[in-house]
Amino acid sequence: MSRPFVIGLTGSIGMGKTTTAQMFAAEGVPVWDADAAVHRIYAPGGAAVEPLRAICPNAIVDGAVDRNVLKNWLAKDDTALKQIEAVVHPLVAQDRARFLRDTDVPVVLLDIPLLFETGADAQMDLVAVVSTSSEAQRERVLARGTMTPDQFDAILAKQMPDEEKRTRADVVIPTDTIEGAQAAVKQVLAQVKERSSHA
């Protein structure tokens, strides 16, 4: 069985990554979602439960990982992030490897928010970054009503700047409009098809 062509999709918060991933799915491309993988390993019986219990026992509530407890620990302890990542990143990578191994299709999409930050871009055949103006980004995120402007700025500060992501990407998918994003998705898949037929 030949390995599928792997598209890595990334982009900063509020740039339209989830919507764009759904567009790829609508075109028949199986999507692996890093955030969903984290939910799986944090759920009761998930692979991260016992290793995280060992480093932060009170983060395990009713047999699952409580993200709020982890958030509070992250806010108080500068070493927490490294400890959590040391547990979570390898488990997420295993989940991703399993998806790729069990998928028998020509093209797959891996939706990874921290694609560049974790170095996963090196394993992709093509990297697509979703992008829109910083004004539209801020508007979208704050319209969700799930975070304050300060929380949004704090997240932005931790993420690689959009400009740098665009520079490092093979393809930039503009998400200013749904139609523009859909056209770009179709174009990416046409390119991939062409590449594969020459391979």
Q: Are residues 14 and 79 in the same domain?
A: no
Verify that 111 and 187 share a domain, yes or no: yes
Pairing type for strands 60-61 and 64-65 reads antiparallel
Domain boundary (56, 83, 102) is at: 102
Instruction: From 50, 84, 102, give the residue that closes a domain.
Output: 102
CA–CA distance, 21 with 29 (Å, rounded to integer): 9
Residue 75's pLDDT is 87
Q: Are residues 98 and 127 in the same domain?
A: no
Label residue 1 by pLDDT band (50, 70, 90).
Answer: low
Task: Give the pLDDT confidence of 31-40 residue by residue, as tens digits.
Answer: 999 999 999 9
Tens-place pLDDT, residues 55-78: 999 999 999 999 999 999 988 998
Cβ contact 149:142 at 8 Å? yes
Q: What is the pLDDT of residues 131-144, one digit of tens each?
A: 999 999 999 999 99
Residue 196 lies in a domain: no
Q: Give the domain range for residue 153.
A: 1-30+107-191
